[in-house]
Amino acid sequence: MPAVSKGDGMRGLAVFISDIRNCKSKEAEIKRINKELANIRSKFKGDKALDGYSKKKYVCKLLFIFLLGHDIDFGHMEAVNLLSSNKYTEKQIGYLFISVLVNSNSDLIRLINNAIKNDLASRNPTFMNLALHCIANVGSREMAEAFASEIPSILVAGDTMDSVKQSAALCLLRLNRTSTDLVPMGEWTARVVHLLNDQHLGVVTAAASLITTLAQKSPDDFKTSISLAVARLSRIVTSASIDLQDYTYYFVAAPWLSVKLLRLLQCYPPPEDAAIRSRLTECLETILNKAQEPPKSKKVQHSNAKNAVLFEAITLIIHHDSEPTLLVRACNQLGQFLQHRETNLRYLALESMCTLASSEFSHETVKTHIETVINALKTERDVSVRQRAVDLLYAMCDRSNAKQIVAEMLSYLETADYSIREEIVLKVAILAEKYAVDYTWYVDTILNLIRIAGDYVSEEVWYRVIQIVINRDDVQGYAAKTVFEALQAPACHENLVKVGGYILGEFGNLIAGDSRSSPLVQFNLLHSKFHLCSVPTRALLLSAYIKFINLFPEVKTTIQDVLRSDSQLRNADVELQQRAVEYLRLSCIASTDILATVLEEMPPFPERESSILAKLKRKKGPGNLPDIDDARRHVNGSTEHSEITEHTKKGSTHPFDDPLNLSSTPSTGASLLVDVFSDSTTLAPVDVSEENFPRFVCKNNGVIFENQLLQIGLKSEYRQNLGRMYVFFGNKTSTQFLSFSASLNVHAKTVEPIIEGGAQVQQILNIECISDFTDAPLLSIQFRYGGALQNIAVKLPVMLNKFFQPTEMTSQDFFQRWKQLGIPQQEVQKIFKAKHPMDTEVAKAKILGFGVALLDGVDPNPANFVGAGVIHTKNTQVGCLLRLEPNTQAQMYRLTLRTSRDSVSQRLCDLLSEQF
Amino acid sequence: MIKAILIFNNHGKPRLSKFYEHYSEDTEQQIIRETFHLVSKRDENVCNFLEGGMLIGGSDYKLIYRHYATLYFVFCVDSSESELGILDLIQVFVETLDKCFENVCELDLIFHVDKVHNILAEMVMGGMVLETNMNEIISQVDAQNKMEKSETFIFQSTRQDR
């Protein structure tokens, strides 16, 4: 008998669905749906009380309409009423509606919670399960608050039915994921571990999932689970299929549970106890052995289930990374899979081998498969698999095979899918640099990269090649020769022109001896590309020209003629025009000596982590742990000496065009980029002054710190994601401050080391907002006054809202966007007491100072304030809407912020709410 | 964790969507469209795994799918799930539907959305796998149907009374 008989459906529902399916056009469908919605609405609103059956029917219709992609904004109340029905079918449909169409309306949540509470207390396992399902599916904070303490007791109670235990375990797991802080640890944890011994394999499976998650967070509390898990696994794997109830799936004993247990063991290092350890090794060997046995069924399900366990076992072996024999066996097994006819297995084998490649025991074995992997790159039909092959080649690369792998990746790049080209470019660039024995190979590789996939070569890549060429004088001549040759091609990528312009400008003299690349030939070659290039590249070329004037006095007049032409001197672009004017002037009035000093060869770049590597890391995300809340927050601040001589500063007046001063490349030593937040250990142990910090949320200038000796004033200006801050240090005494330094953590880039009594010195900080952040940078100041060393730390008022650009919008736009940002995490609301007199004009000024645009006539209540703006960071822009509702009677405010990013909403709300 | 379970037909019409993480209604529809776009352009006989679309979280998430006749079954999961395990789970789901509906077809999913949801709820809960044993699942579903039958009976008699 079928479990669902087809005849007993609801007729009205079937008719409606058939109508929809018969609709010939989208319009007809919408019309029919609207008619039905109106019908249901009137039924719900009508005087006649609906019976359970009708309610159920209408709720089903709403569900169907929702599935088709239409908004449902009513019916929630009826669904909640169904929850308290004592008929199973009505209750069930009510819960279904709630979990599909959950609404963060808090009144409703309270009613739902009430119904859940009753069902949990009902001792009816079916009802309890429905309630637990609902909690797990919705998983909201309110629910966690209401039930997190109750569920553990249901889970471990002796008289709880198996099916309820299963649900309770997963429900707790879900709450632990969404609101960890609310799930109390306690004496129940020990009893949960013992569920691994439960008779019912479904309960064991659910418990294993729960324990895995809990053990990731607090491994010590669940250490006892290791021995239980190994014992259970051993019974499944090694014994014949007894006591497995129905959990044998296509001749494989409890595959799902085996996978879960193996996952759980991955939370821990290899067991310390020798007996347990050897028992586990025995299990793993058995699993590996079984892979070699002939299959018990030809069905794909059989091999899937068997291999699911096998892959998990291999992952555990890799994770333990302690048994060389097992590792080598695992590697050989994966090697077999690399050539398997099942695409899925090839995919997974490539993926697992990637992690295996990093183990010292198996790295060499992995390398033996290089030909197979390269072959996969060439012949696999599926882009997902090819992508894994690229990853594996990257992982198995070392000095011995780098040339081969880089060559293969380059040739694959010519035909690679567009979606993965940028990643391959980064990988090639990194490998070429990391394993370069001679740098001529490196230069060739990068130029090839630009030739093959110029569009996918990001700035980091070509900055890096320039950094390396500048730092290594053994490769400079070769680089100049190679770019010169590459530029001969009639059509070359703009990135090549950039690299070429830069390198010839610096090192063109190294090849000028050859008449085929004489100065004039070089210049003409570069200039032939000039008109095809974008403004930033042209600006770079102009800089190369002025460098030529220094390198080759014989082409001075030719270049001056070019600079003097109308297309340069009167160029519509102000940047180009300015460069042309300045360079021309410089070449006319400066003596050869001065020219030689101003246009000296670039000094070497300090060694630091490759910016390309950083980029790849960013691209690949924070790693594979899904639970880690990775909010990378950092701001790059560059401190600049206040007395930089004009010529060394030239680059920094054009920060958008020149690689000299962009990214993490300190160029002249005059500007030094400091990663303000990267190194939190160096915070000075002195008290941090932040009392004036909040005053700067809505304004940019003022005094941030003052004591008897020193006054620190700030002036700052911000535009989009960039900012500049002038810091003024005033000596209030009549004595000198000696050895004065003000630094953003480690780097003591000094201000004027002596401040005369009564005098003031200035420091300029350049700020760039990379992504959203919470912490502000610390400025630590040290100086000697009299004999005593003074230590001061000041929290600089660089806050997220400084990077606001106000946005004007109409009322309609505002509400549309407000609605779009409707996910609960996107909204942050705070209700707080007014700390200052509630004055409309002051409030307005504060909101404007906060950085958003004040929107008039949007809110129906004129007393409310509504604002909109966009936060600019280097990586993204975050739109932000805010609403401030004053209640003068209660002397309270309610502040609501909605942005597309929860961390931003929270931070902005915290900042602004302190201001009223 | 399973982030979403989607069933749509060869034309991209959704037949079931179950999200275990909250998205706005619009985003849910966009995710369904994006997923359909990603999955439907793939050949038959390629592998059953691919990286998730941008909306669902990019390369930290995998789409694991099977294509049966007119329907695509897609599970979107994070790295804590075994790929082959999920593939098995899809198979168990389909076999269960097949037993419950006797030769399940697309129409069954259309006309019995609630039943499909209930069957799924016996297997996956809050994004975690609850039960993989088909007999256990079916016996739960049977029990529900019995309760439903008995209530329908009471129901209809009372309705006739009125």
Q: What pLDDT sits at residue A527?
A: 92
Q: What pLDDT sits at residue A103?
A: 59
Contact A205 B128 (CB under 8 A): no
Q: What is the pLDDT of residues A853-877, one digit of tens each?
A: 888 878 888 888 899 988 888 878 8
Question: Does residue A390 lie within any of the structural domains?
Answer: no
Q: CA A138, CA A34: separation in Å to the nearest integer?
A: 28
CATH of the domain at A840: 3.30.310.10
Write out residues 128-187 of A within 8 Å (CB-CB) of B: 132-133, 135-137, 139, 163, 166-167, 170-171, 173-174, 177
For residue B20, give the nearest of A137, A259, A346 by CB distance.
Answer: A137
For residue B113, give the nearest of A21, A67, A344 by CB distance.
Answer: A67
Same domain, A772 and A831: no
Q: Which of A599, A627, A662 is the last residue of a domain?
A: A599
Mean of the per-residue pLDDT values of chain A: 81
Residue of B25, B130, B134, B142 to mutate for A, most A C-beta atoms under 10 A: B130
Question: Does residue A147 lie within any of the structural domains?
Answer: no
Token pair in block for residue B98: 């097949």
Nearest to A246 by CA among B17, B137, B3, B146: B137
Number of compact structural domains in chain A = 3
Same domain, A415 and A534: yes
Q: Which of A795, A823, A843 is the last residue of a domain?
A: A795
CA distance B141 to chain A (A): 7
Opening angle at CA B129, ends B126 and B130, nearest 5: 90
A343 CB near a chain B CB, below 8 Å?
yes
Instruction: Quote the distance between the C-alpha of residue A596 and its chain's center.
Output: 46
Give chain B positions within 8 Å (CB) of A201.
133
Please answer whether residues A329 and A281 qualify as being in contact, where contact means their C-beta atoms are separated by less than 8 angstroms: no
CATH of domain B2-161: 3.30.450.60
Give chain B positions within 8 Å (CB) of A621.
58-60
Q: What is the pLDDT of residues A446-505, one digit of tens each?
A: 888 888 888 888 888 888 888 888 888 888 999 999 999 999 988 888 999 999 999 999
Q: CA A351, CA A347: separation in Å to the nearest integer?
A: 6
Q: CA A544, CA A266: separation in Å to the nearest integer?
A: 56
For residue B114, give the nearest of A96, A133, A384 by CB distance.
Answer: A96
Q: Is the pLDDT of residue A644 over 60?
A: no
Q: What pLDDT sits at residue A243?
A: 59
Q: Chain A: residue nearest B103 by CA?
A: A2
Same domain, A900 and A829: yes
Q: Is the pLDDT of residue B6 over 90?
A: yes
Q: Chain B: residue nearest A209 by CA?
A: B128
Contact B47 A382 (CB under 8 A): yes
Q: What pLDDT sits at residue A315?
A: 92
Token pair in block for residue A380: 């696999």
Mean of pLDDT values over A272-291: 92
Same domain, A709 and A817: no
Q: CA A646, CA A598: separation in Å to the nearest integer?
A: 10
Residue of A4, A48, A287 to mutate for B, most B C-beta atoms under 10 A: A4
Domain that holds residue A714: 688-795
Contact B60 A136 (CB under 8 A): no
Opening angle at CA A75, ends A72 and A81, nearest 5: 150
Same domain, A821 and A779: no
Q: What pLDDT sits at residue A312?
A: 94
Q: Which of A743, A771, A795 is the last residue of a domain?
A: A795
Q: What pLDDT sits at residue A251?
A: 83
ipTM: 0.90
CATH of the domain at A740: 2.60.40.1230
Question: Does residue A30 lie within any of the structural domains?
Answer: no
pTM, full prediction:
0.66
Same domain, A820 and A890: yes
Q: CA A808, CA A787: separation in Å to the nearest integer?
A: 56
Q: Chain B: residue nearest A343 by CA?
A: B47
Residue ranges of the binding site of A: 11-12, 43, 53, 57-61
Q: What is the pLDDT of residues A699-743, one digit of tens each?
A: 888 888 888 788 888 888 888 788 888 888 888 777 777 777 776
- Between the alpha carbon of residue A729 and those of residues A637, A732, A770, the distances in Å are 19, 9, 28
- Residue, of A476 and A693, whose pLDDT is higher: A476
Q: CA B114, CA A789: separation in Å to the nearest integer?
A: 75
Same domain, A782 and A828: no
Q: What pLDDT sits at residue B85?
A: 92
Question: Does residue A442 lie within any of the structural domains?
Answer: yes
Same domain, A406 and A424: yes
Q: What pLDDT sits at residue A751?
A: 61
Q: Chain B: residue nearest A245 by CA?
A: B133
> What is the Cβ-side half-sphere exposure of residue A136, based on CA atoms within 13 angstroms?
30
Identity of residue A308: A
Same domain, A778 and A806: no
Give chain A positions within 8 Å (CB) of B108.
4, 6
Q: What pLDDT sits at residue A619?
A: 63
Residue of B22, B61, B98 to mutate for A, most A C-beta atoms under 10 A: B22
Q: What pLDDT sits at residue A590?
A: 84
Question: Does residue A200 lie within any of the structural domains?
Answer: no
Write out residues 714-753 of A within 8 Å (CB-CB) of B: none
- Between the alpha carbon of residue A636 and those of residues A719, A722, A762, A874, the distances in Å are 15, 10, 20, 10
- Between the alpha carbon of residue A835 and those of residues A656, A668, A882, B35, B123, the distances in Å are 44, 49, 20, 50, 53
Token pair in block for residue A540: 């770079």
Token pair in block for residue A309: 């366990």
A853 CB near a chain B CB, below 8 Å?
no
Same domain, A508 and A484: yes
Contact A202 B133 (CB under 8 A): yes
Same domain, A746 and A811: no
Least confident of A42-46, A393-397, A880-884: A42-46
Q: Which residues pair with B124 in a beta bridge?
A: B129
- Residue, of A656 and A372, whose pLDDT is higher: A372
Q: Chain A: residue nearest B65 by CA?
A: A344
Q: What pLDDT sits at residue A651?
A: 34
Q: Chain B: residue nearest A6 by CA?
A: B101
Q: Chain B: residue nearest A174 by CA?
A: B126
For residue B113, give the nearest of A64, A170, A259 by CB distance.
Answer: A64
CATH of the domain at A545: 1.25.10
Question: Does residue A325 lie within any of the structural domains?
Answer: no
Contact A174 B18 (CB under 8 A): no
Q: What is the DSSP string of A789-818?
A: EEEEEEE----GGGGEEE----HHHHHHHH
Q: Where are the domains of chain B?
A: 2-161
Q: CA A759, CA A763: separation in Å to the nearest integer?
A: 14
Q: What pLDDT sits at residue A241?
A: 52
Please answer whether residues B65 and B75 qualify as being in contact, where contact means their C-beta atoms are separated by less than 8 angstroms: yes
Question: Does residue A585 lie within any of the structural domains?
Answer: yes
Instruction: Quote the distance between the C-alpha of residue A396 and its chain's center.
Output: 26
Contact B46 A384 (CB under 8 A): yes
Give chain B positions within 8 Å (CB) of A91.
none
Please answer whether residues A516 and A527 qualify as being in contact, where contact means their C-beta atoms are separated by less than 8 angstroms: no
Question: Does residue A841 lie within any of the structural domains?
Answer: yes
DSSP-derived pairing of the beta strands A804-806 and A760-769: unpaired
Same domain, A786 and A810: no
Helix (H) or strand (E) holding A253: strand A252-253
Contact A17 B111 (CB under 8 A): yes
Contact A174 B132 (CB under 8 A): no
Q: What is the pLDDT of residues A575-594, one digit of tens each?
A: 999 999 999 989 888 888 88
- Between the alpha carbon of residue A872 and those of residues A365, A661, A675, the distances in Å are 48, 21, 19
Q: What is the pLDDT of residues B75-133, one digit of tens each?
A: 999 988 899 999 999 999 999 999 999 888 888 888 888 889 989 999 999 899 998 88
